[in-house]
């Protein structure tokens, strides 16, 4: 049985459709991220699941319980949904100490004082906050406040955790450490997590599945590798990582198994230029398609065979180097190991594509 099941869930605020007909199943103990740009409806979706908003259409189930059914007029209030939520702004009570903030949900449930004390002390220890129990939120760093909010969500041992951009206010190092910490807590408690973020690296690193959201709708739901390697459209491809879109023409096929390999020509180059060999997970449906290729899958070498390109600019990035290459009317971004011999603006290079993905030609728009 799925832990959370949304069917045709819609939320309108007057003329604004914040969530437009979302259907999603989250399995028990699964970690699913909702990934999308600002304003696409992520927080609204999470608040609908929590019960802080009522949908204008659709049904929501939590376990075997129907918690929302717009037609039948069913609405189960948040406190009966057995969920913990970390809000985008943390929403800690400034007048309460760390201990009191974390104890609050238990007080609401009329848990006895000794038991409350034990549970709160436990969760504060787990999150490394034991020595801060007596402080107020204003006396904590952003990262510490974030952990208090997490402790408050975890203290009543909820089946489901709803986390709304919980790491967005942290510095890069702490953000990465907290990714592992949250994932570890989720495994230990066996919780089901719905995790909202606009950070693609976070979604890819943490999730069992990622649901990519745009303008109130889920455009693709899949494992991190499916989303990254086989995006369904331009939006997903460009939102989840860096990408090049190249209009190409299939010349012939050189291998069909296990992966499809063919020789392809780049459109807009003189007809006599040599086609390159490229591997795709399956044969494209049509000879004309848009090659979707990540910068790290493009190879360039001075004077080597391949599509003829000239280097426009380079950017050194520590362990890697980004290189922009012009090939006829196209510009392509390449990411390579910075320890390889340096390439400089003006160099002539041969461009090859190790492997990629494809989209139908009509989804390609000229830059
Ligand atoms: N209470 C409300 N009344 C009217 N419009 C709202 C309300 N809440 C949200 N919206 C609108 O619904 C849309 C989705 O908002 P939401 O907060 O869910 O986006 P989000 O994806 O969480 O964005 P962000 O990444 O910036 O947090 C936005 O256009 C927003 O202005
Ligand atoms: Mg939000």
Q: Report the CATH number at residue 68.
A: 3.40.50.300
Same domain for 318 and 352, yes or no, is yes
11 close to ligand 1 (CB < 6 Angstrom): no
Same domain for 51 and 85, yes or no, is yes
- Ligand 1 site-directed mutation target among 42, 47, 86, 88, most atoms within 8 Å of CB: 42
Same domain for 168 and 272, yes or no, is no
Same domain for 158 and 273, yes or no, is no
Give residue 189's pLDDT.
82
Same domain for 177 and 314, yes or no, is no
Element containing residue 1 per DSSP (H, E): none
351 close to ligand 1 (CB < 6 Angstrom): no
Same domain for 185 and 272, yes or no, is no
Same domain for 51 and 185, yes or no, is yes
Question: Domain range spanning residue 337?
Answer: 244-363
Same domain for 295 and 228, yes or no, is no
**Protein residue with its CA nearest to atom 20 in ligand 1:** 39
Give residue 271's pLDDT.
74
Domain edge (last residue) among 204, 239, 274: 239
Same domain for 123 and 158, yes or no, is yes
| Ligand with minimal distance to 18 CA | 1
Give residue 363's pLDDT.
46
43 close to ligand 1 (CB < 6 Angstrom): yes
The domain total for the chain is: 2
Same domain for 227 and 261, yes or no, is no
Domain edge (last residue) among 239, 266, 296: 239
**Protein residue with its CA nearest to atom 25 in ligand 1:** 38
Domain edge (last residue) among 207, 239, 271: 239
Give me the CATH number covering residue 336.
2.40.50.140
Cα–Cα distance for residue pair 111/156, rounded to 1 Å: 10
Low-confidence ranges of the chain (pLDDT < 70): 1, 362-367
Instruction: List Cα–Cα distances, 323 to 266, 268, 309, 329, 354, in angstroms.
Output: 19, 21, 11, 17, 16
Cα–Cα distance for residue pair 203/153, rounded to 1 Å: 20
19 close to ligand 1 (CB < 6 Angstrom): no
Ligand 2 midpoint to CA 327 (Å): 40
Same domain for 212 and 258, yes or no, is no
**Protein residue with its CA nearest to atom 31 in ligand 1:** 39
Give residue 176's pLDDT.
86
- Ligand 1 site-directed mutation target among 12, 33, 39, 88, most atoms within 8 Å of CB: 39
Same domain for 221 and 253, yes or no, is no
């Amino acid at each position: 049985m799925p832990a959370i099941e949304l069917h045709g869930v819609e939320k309108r605020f007057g003329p604004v459709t914040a969530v437009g007909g979302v259907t999603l199943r989250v399995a028990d103990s699964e970690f699913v991220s909702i990934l999308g740009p600002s304003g696409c409806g992520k927080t609204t979706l999470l608040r609908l699941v929590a019960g802080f908003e009522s949908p204008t259409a659709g049904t929501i189930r939590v376990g075997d319980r129907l918690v929302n059914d717009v037609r039948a007029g069913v609405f189960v209030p948040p406190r009966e949904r057995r969920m913990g939520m970390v809000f985008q702004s943390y929403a800690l009570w400034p007048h309460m100490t760390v201990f009191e903030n974390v104890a609050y949900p238990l007080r609401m449930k009329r848990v006895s004082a000794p038991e409350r004390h034990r549970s709160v002390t436990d969760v504060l220890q787990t999150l490394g906050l034991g020595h801060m129990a007596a402080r107020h939120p204003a006396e904590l760093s952003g990262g510490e406040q974030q952990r208090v909010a997490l402790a408050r969500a975890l203290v009543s041992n909820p089946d489901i955790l709803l986390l709304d951009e919980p790491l967005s206010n942290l510095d890069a190092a702490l953000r990465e450490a907290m990714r592992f910490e949250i994932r570890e807590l989720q495994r230990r408690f066996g919780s089901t997590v719905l995790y909202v973020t606009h950070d693609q690296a976070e979604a890819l690193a943490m999730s069992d599945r990622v649901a990519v959201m745009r303008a109130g709708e889920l455009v693709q739901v899949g494992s991190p590798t499916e989303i990254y390697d086989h995006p369904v459209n331009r939006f997903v491809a460009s939102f989840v990582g860096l990408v090049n879109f190249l209009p190409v023409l299939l010349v012939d096929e050189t291998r069909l198994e296990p992966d499809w390999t063919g020789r392809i020509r780049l459109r807009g180059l003189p007809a006599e230029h040599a086609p390159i060999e490229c591997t795709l997970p399956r044969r494209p449906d049509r000879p004309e398609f848009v090659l979707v290729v990540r910068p790290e899958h493009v190879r360039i070498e001075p004077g080597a065979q391949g599509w003829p390109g000239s280097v426009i600019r380079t950017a050194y990035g520590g362990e890697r180097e980004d290189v922009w290459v012009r090939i006829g009317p196209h510009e392509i971004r390449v990411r390579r190991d910075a320890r390889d011999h340096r390439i400089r603006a003006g160099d002539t290079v041969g461009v090859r594509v190790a492997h990629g993905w494809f989209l139908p030609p009509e989804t390609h728009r000229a830059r």
